[in-house]
Amino acid sequence: MAEIGLVRLARLGLDVSPAVLPSQWTEFSKRQFTQPQLMAVLCLMRYEDWTFRGAEVRLNEHTKLRSALQLNSVRDYTTLYRFLAWLRQDDVARVLQFDVDGKYFCGSDMVIKFSPEGRVLMVFGRKQEASDEGTDPLKHPKPPLPPIDGEFRQVTDMAWDMAGNTYISDGYINSRIAKIDKDGNWIKSWGEPGTGPGQFNTPHSIATDDAGNVYVADRGNGRIQVFNGDGKYLREIHISVPYDHKIRPWKGNAPSEVPATAEAPAPLNKTMLNGSPWAICITPGPHQVLYASDGYPGRIYKLTLDGKVLGVLGATGHGPGQFGWIHELACPSENVLYAAELLNWRVQKLTLERAR
């Protein structure tokens, strides 16, 4: 990434973090750093694929980067380095979520629960240790290896119900949903690779409603599946809204719309098809609505919980109100959205107004 891009990403991390994290201080050893500073460094490591040593070198050498992170006056980096070393490259979270109590969770092959002050409260799963044999990146065999209770393979998202249970979409390899109670006990999991009810092709995002139902963005199958809290299949939602086929994708070739037949339910992977859900969120009550985004044509859809489309906004692109592969959505109210984009390296805050 260009030098100016590093600085911009660091500043973005600082700007976004205070909006979702309390401003308390987090202490790891001699020095104290704000949570936004730590989260901004985590963001840089995630998107630059830096190792601990790589981040250390960049911070030492890059004056503008230290300035953007407001670290110029700090001479002792021991605390920050310990934080980076604790994360390590293979522990850098793919997803960051917050529960109703403001506690936040990081996820990769481990899911770690923190207090608002940054203390580790609970750990789910286990990463490979550096001293283990065969600690290469996880392979993606077809079919995948059987999942193991209490362990994960590339978590994609998590959500909570009113009772404090955690639901984890697990994820790129295991293709299942895990349920853990508020005390951290493994309750159950459901799902397997496939195209039928209760089967998944990359469960990429997850949300819950006030009734305790679980909504899973089954991205590769082009649908949102709905379950009760025990994993019983209830229904599925398909989003199909006409669009301009002349729209060019942010990257790559335009996907082909192949009609499915009983003999050929093609395409086998519907990730890039119109309406295939990449990220979902559900607003707080009393009148909840569901938001979903797709990769192409790059839109956000507003739906009832039964799947009726209420509105559509955006398109793929680089400008304000355009999107490049939304990977997370947050909807703290029906009229406010946060969209985290993978390709445009940014978070957009969207304030929705009723059409006149």
- Predicted confidence (pLDDT) per residue in 151-163, tens digit: 888 888 989 999 9
Comparison of pLDDT for 263 and 81, the residue scoring more: 81
pLDDT in tens, 219-242: 999 999 999 999 999 999 999 999
Cβ atoms of 103 and 121 closer than 8 Å: yes
Residue with tokens 């395409």: 267
Alpha-carbon gap, residue 109 to 75, rounded angstroms: 34
Q: What is the pLDDT of residue 28?
A: 43
CA distance 316 to 161: 32
What confidence category does residue 81 fall into, taking pLDDT thresholds of 50, 70 and 90?
A: low
Q: Is residue 158 part of a domain?
A: no
Q: What integer is the mean pLDDT of 197-214? A: 95
pTM across the whole model? 0.73
| Nearest partner of 180 among 152, 155, 198, 160, judged by Cα | 160
Residue 142 has pLDDT above 90, yes or no: no
Predicted confidence at residue 79, as pLDDT, reads 53
Q: What is the pLDDT of residue 133?
A: 72
Q: What is the pLDDT of residues 167-192, one digit of tens each?
A: 999 988 889 999 999 999 999 999 99
Task: Tell me the chain's radius of gyration from C-alpha atoms.
Answer: 20
**pLDDT for res 51:** 63
Q: Is position 309 within any domain?
A: no
- State the pLDDT confidence band at 308, using cuts at 50, 70 and 90: very high
Would residue 246 count as lying in a domain? no
Q: Residues 102-113: pLDDT tens digits?
A: 555 555 677 878
Q: Measure the CA–CA gap between 170 and 300, rounded to whole angstroms.
A: 24
**Domain assignment present for 289:** no
| Range of the structural domain that residue 69 is part of | 1-91
For range 294-302, the mean pLDDT: 97
Predicted local confidence at residue 129, as pLDDT: 67
Rounded to whole angstroms, how far apart are CA atoms 343 and 322?
11
The confidence score (pLDDT) of residue 90 equals: 42
- At residue 68, does pLDDT exceed 60? yes
Residue 301, in any domain of the structure: no
Average pLDDT over the chain, rounded to an integer:
80
Question: In this structure, is residue 86 part of a structural domain?
Answer: yes
16 located within any domain: yes
Which pLDDT score, from 0 to 100, does residue 127 have? 73
Residue 97 falls inside a structural domain: no
The whole-angstrom separation of Cα 78 and Cα 32 is 10
Longest Cα–Cα distance of the chain, Å, equals 66
Angstrom distance (rounded) from CA 9 to CA 1: 10
* Partner residues linked to 105 by β-bridges: 97, 113
What per-residue confidence (pLDDT) applies to 114? 73
**Count of domains observed in the chain:** 1
